[in-house]
Amino acid sequence: MENLNIDIRLIFAILNGKVSAAINHNLARNFRAGGLNITPEQYIILMHLSEHDGVTQQQLCTATYKDKPSMTRLLGGMERLHLVMRIKGRDDRRSNTVHLTHTGRDLKDQAQRIALLTLKESLKGLKYEDICTSQEVLRQIFSNIIHAKG
């Protein structure tokens, strides 16, 4: 690791979120072009709920790395679009569970097709082996971060 040749510009691009921002920008543009009225943030929530319907808002915050006010704002907008519904907890009235509606599930399916096309655009020109290696590297970096003692 001592002789590691690191392109510091690439590290800064990763640290300041340039790669993520560029992909999110393209995804938002592709959603609009496909006639979908959602943001990449909302898409992530739809994806999570399609796999884990009925989670609490706090669990959604944890899973998506969003703070409570941001999640409340996102879910409010999604409720107005009839994509999700929040149901008050029986035991704890302060705890809402969040559920996908039929509209939300249908939109998630449409958005997923657009997201896959956007990902293919982003990965164009890369070899399959390089994509697999990149995935493993990013998984390890993420694991290192969430398991770091601090």
Q: Bridge partners of 96? A: 88
CATH, domain range 8-144: 1.10.10.10
| Model pLDDT for residues 10-31, shown as the tens digit of each residue | 776 676 788 889 999 999 999 9
How many CB atoms sit inside 10 A of residue 40's CB? 18
Alpha carbon 81 to its chain's center: 19
Mean pLDDT of the chain: 89
| Model pLDDT for residues 67-84, shown as the tens digit of each residue | 999 999 999 999 999 999
Looking at residue 139, its pLDDT comes to 85
pTM here?
A: 0.82
42-58: buried (b, 16+ CB within 10 Å) or exposed (e) per residue?
A: bbbbbebbeeeeebebe
The domain locations on the chain are 8-144
| Model pLDDT for residues 40-63, shown as the tens digit of each residue | 999 999 999 999 999 999 999 999
Q: Residues 113, 33: contact at Cβ < 8 Å?
A: no
